[in-house]
Structure 1
Amino acid sequence: MNKVTRLQAVSHPLRLRILFALDVQEEARTSDLAAELGVAANKVSYHLSLMEKGGIIRKRTGEDARETWWSVITENLDMKEGEGSDSLAEDSRAATLASLEYLRSLVPALEPGESEERPNQSIMVTNAYLTTEQVKELADDLAALLHRARDLSDQNREQGNGRLYAVGAQLLPARAEQG
């Protein structure tokens, strides 16, 4: 399974919503996903089958043969360096933009002055000139931060605490400057 195939498997807003829902729930039935997302079950089923063909989710038959459970194959979402082709950078940017658009849809608009409380949201973006070694170091730091967020999420879910937040990180080469 190459990167482009995996990226195509999530290159639709509904598939991203399904992926995020499965990631939080760890495993869910088609009907549960349809109810949570407010989408017809046959539509969710169609997109689940495309995601399965793309190798990013797996299905398991429940005790009742009509019951299908789905879960994310997290190791197949890890985009390892050196996989793919020259067009991969563009595909990665497209997937990143699609992910960001979906994440933005989950976050209510920030209206300055609307509340005296500081909103529980942060959006941080920067461009930076980095060496290959610095990129590797930052990637390790980001991976550790996301791992910490996942651990906290698991603890809170077990205890019935917290709210759902979208947490993500991207470290991609910028598009070459056009002359």
Structure 2
Amino acid sequence: MEDISVITAVNHPLRRRIFDYLLLYGTSQVTTISRSLESQVGSISHHLRMLERAGVVERAEDPRGDRRTSWWRLARRSMTWSAEDFADSPADALLAREAERQGIRMQMERLQRWRRHRGDPAYAEYEAFNTETTTWASAAEIKDLSDRLRQTLSEWQTSIDDTDGQPRVPVFFFSHIFPTEP
């Protein structure tokens, strides 16, 4: 189970963008992150320190040996949690539910951005997909599906050879499985 401080640290809109940036681009300088995310250097530095306190990012050596610049990298690449993990603590449960809401808003915003830009010629050859289903499942079967999806996604990510010269764009995958009503 994730510590609530990690969940709340990452599920802030700008800190999530910083996390995703480092996930995609690796070790980076604060000014580079700032330019890419169109945010002030001071703000990026502040949020990096918040992520550092939560153990999500860590300071990195400047690859050129210049100690005057600030470089950062991820200390971890993923998190798995559920708001239900915090049922024993009403305060933490409230924070977890808000982080969950923030995460879902971010997911929907990314999907909406894609829909607005999907006609962009730069993405002409990329095909997004949507899949959904409704069925009957036990708690153990839901956990099994969740484990299988995480494993498949991990294998797929590991199989990508980013040295083969193929053009690539950042992609975002999200899924939810939950009890529902028709």
Relative to the length of structure 2, the TM-score reads 0.73
What SS does the corresponding residue of 1:67 show, helix, strand or coil?
A: coil
Residue in 2 aligned with 1:44? Answer: 44
Residue in 1 aligned with 2:141? Answer: 134
Residue in 2 aligned with 1:148? Answer: 155
Residue in 2 aligned with 1:163? Answer: 168
Q: CA deviation at 1:29?
A: 1.1
For 2:103 and 2:31, the matched residues in 1 are separated by: 28
Q: Is the 8 A contact 1:34 1:44 kept in 2?
A: yes
Q: CA deviation at 1:102?
A: 4.7
For 1:43 and 1:82, the matched residues in 2 are separated by: 28
What SS does the corresponding residue of 1:70 show, helix, strand or coil?
A: strand
Tell me the amino acid that sits aligned with residue 24 of structure 1.
L
Matched, 1:67 2:72: no
Q: Is the 8 A contact 1:17 1:102 kept in 2?
A: no
Q: CA deviation at 1:28?
A: 1.0
Q: Is the 8 A contact 1:18 1:33 kept in 2?
A: yes
Deviation sequence 1:53-96 (CA, Å, 0-9, x none): 12211112322222222122226x43367994112762453243
> Which is worse superposed, 41-50 or 95-104?
95-104
Relative to the length of structure 1, the TM-score reads 0.74
Q: CA deviation at 1:9?
A: 0.9
For 2:8 and 2:71, the matched residues in 1 are separated by: 22
Deviation sequence 1:105-164 (CA, Å, 0-9, x none): 65242789xxxx7861123345554212212221122112211332244x12x2332322
Residue in 2 aligned with 1:5? Answer: 5
Deviation sequence 1:19-39 (CA, Å, 0-9, x none): 111001121111111122222
Q: Is the 8 A contact 2:10 2:51 kept in 1?
A: yes
For 1:161 and 1:24, the matched residues in 2 are separated by: 16
Residue in 1 aligned with 2:90? Answer: none
For 1:50 and 1:19, the matched residues in 2 are separated by: 12
Q: Is the 8 A contact 1:142 1:169 kept in 2?
A: no
Q: Relative to structure 1, is the Cα distance of residues 58 and 144 closer, same or farther in structure 2, using a 3 angstrom cutoff? A: same
Matched, 1:94 2:95: no
Residue in 2 aligned with 1:85? Answer: 86
Q: Relative to structure 1, is the Cα distance of residues 22 and 125 closer, same or farther in structure 2, using a 3 angstrom cutoff? A: farther
Q: Which runs of 5+ in 2 are unaligned?
A: 88-92
Aligned residues: 169
Residue in 1 aligned with 2:22? Answer: 22
Q: CA deviation at 1:2?
A: 4.2
